[in-house]
Copies of this chain bind each other. A is one copy, B any other.
Amino acid sequence: MNLRELSKVLGLSQTTVSRALNGYPEVSEATRQRVAAAARLHNYRPNTRAKGLATGRAMAIAHVIPVSSHHEMVNPVFADFIAGAGETYAAHGYDMMLSMAGHRKEENIYRDLAARRSVDGIIVHAPRLDDSRQALLQEIGLPFVVHGRFGGDTSGYNWLDMNNRRAFARATSFLLDLGHRRIGLINGLESMDFAARRRDGYCEALAIRGIAPAPELMISDEMTEHQGHGHCLTLLDRDDPPTALLTSSLITAMGVRRACNERGMTLGRDISLITHDDELSYFHNGRAEPDFTSLRSPVRDHGRRAAAMLLRVIGDPGCAPLHELLEADFNVGLSTGPVAATRSNPLRDARHASK
Question: B-contacting residues of A (Cβ < 8 Å)?
Answer: 1, 43-50, 52-53, 58, 60, 63, 65, 67-68, 71-76, 78-80, 82-83, 86-87, 90-91, 95-100, 103-104, 111-112, 115-118, 223-226, 251, 254, 257-258, 261, 280-284, 286, 300
Contact = CB atoms under 8 A, between A and B. Distances in A.
Given A76-B280, A98-B82, A45 B112 contact: yes
18 contacts: A44-B115, A46-B116, A49-B118, A63-B98, A65-B83, A72-B83, A72-B281, A74-B83, A76-B76, A79-B79, A90-B104, A95-B99, A95-B118, A97-B98, A98-B98, A224-B284, A225-B254, A226-B284
Contacts of A52: 48-49
Contacts of A111: 43, 45
A49 B43 contact: no
Nearest to A62: B95
Contacts of A87: 100, 103
A interface, over-half SS: mixed
B103 A91 contact: yes
Given A48-B49, A251-B283, 8 more contacts: A49-B52, A49-B117, A72-B300, A74-B79, A74-B82, A87-B103, A97-B97, A224-B284
